[in-house]
Amino acid sequence: MHDYLVTIGLEVHAQILTASKMFCGCSADYADAAPNTHVCPTCLGLPGALPVINRRAIEFAIATGLALNCRIQHANLISRKNYFYADLPSGYQRSQYDDPLCVAGWLDIDGDEGPRRIGLTRVHIEEDTGKLTHADDNTSLVDFNRAGVPLMEIVSEPDIASPEEAKRYFQKLRQILIWIGVNTGDMEKGALRCDANVSLRPVGQEAYGAKVEIKNMNSFRALERALVYEIDRQAAVLRAGGRITQETRGWDESRGITEAQRTKEGSADYRYFPEPDIPPLQVDETLIDACRARLPELPDTRRARFMHEYGLSLQDAETLTADRHRAAYYERTVIAVQAVGGTPRDAAVWIAGELLRLINDTGEELQAAETRLPPAAVAEVVDMLLRGAITRTTAKEAFEVAFRTGQSPAQIVAERGWAVISDTDALTRLAREVIAAHPKAVAEYQGGKATAIKFLIGQIMKATKGQASPQMVQSALEAELDPGA
Task: Dump pLDDT digits (tens) for 371-421.
Answer: 999 999 999 999 999 988 888 888 999 999 999 999 999 999 888 877 776
What is each CA distance from 82 to 24, 92, 269, 275, 410, in whole angstroms? 20, 4, 8, 11, 66
Put residue 242 in one of left, alpha, beta given phi > 0 → left and psi -120 to 50 → alpha: beta
**Residue range 95-119: mean pLDDT, rounded:** 91
* Percent share of the chain, pLDDT over 70: 97
The whole-angstrom separation of Cα 381 and Cα 351 is 12
DSSP string, 309-337: HH---HHHHHHHTSSHHHHHHHHHHHHHH
Residue 36: name the closest of 26, 22, 49 by CA.
26
Contact 127, 39 (CB under 8 A): no
What's the CA gap between 114 and 100, in Å, rounded? 31
Q: Reduce the secondary structure of 230-279 to three states and give it as a string.
A: HHHHHHHHHHCCCCCCCEEEEEECCCCEEEEEEECCCHHHHCCEECCCCC
Domain coordinates in residue numbering, the chain: 4-290, 297-415, 424-481
CATH topology of domain 424-481: Arc Repressor Mutant, subunit A (1.10.10)
| Alpha helix segments (H runs only) across 387-469 | 392-405, 409-416, 424-437, 439-446, 453-463
Closest to 45 measured CA to CA, from 142, 189, 140: 142
Could you give the CA distance from residue 276 to residue 47 in angstroms, rounded to a whole number? 13
How confident is the model over 423-476, as pLDDT tens digits?
A: 576 777 877 888 888 888 888 888 778 787 888 888 877 877 777 767 777 777
- pLDDT (tens digit per residue) in 110-128: 888 888 999 999 999 999 9
pLDDT at 266 over 70: no
Asked whether residue 138 carries a pLDDT value surpassing 90, the answer given is: no
91-117: average pLDDT: 90
pLDDT, one tens digit per residue, over 140-192 is 899 999 999 999 999 999 999 999 999 999 999 999 999 999 999 999 888 99
Report the distance separating Cα 16 and Cα 191, nearest Å. Answer: 8
Task: Write down the pLDDT at residue 264.
Answer: 59
Let me know: does 199 contact 7? Beta carbons within 8 Å.
Answer: yes
Dihedral, 67, 72, 77, 79 alpha carbons, nearest 10: -30
Q: What does the alpha-carbon distance between residue 50 and residue 61 come to, in Å, rounded to a whole number?
A: 22
Read off the pLDDT of residues 299-336 as tens digits, 9 standing for 90 and up: 999 999 999 999 999 999 999 999 999 999 999 999 99
In angstroms, the Cα distances linking 347 to 178, 350, 476 are 24, 5, 32
DSSP state letter for 160 = B
Burial group, residue 12, by CB count within 10 angstroms (0-12, 13-18, 19+): buried
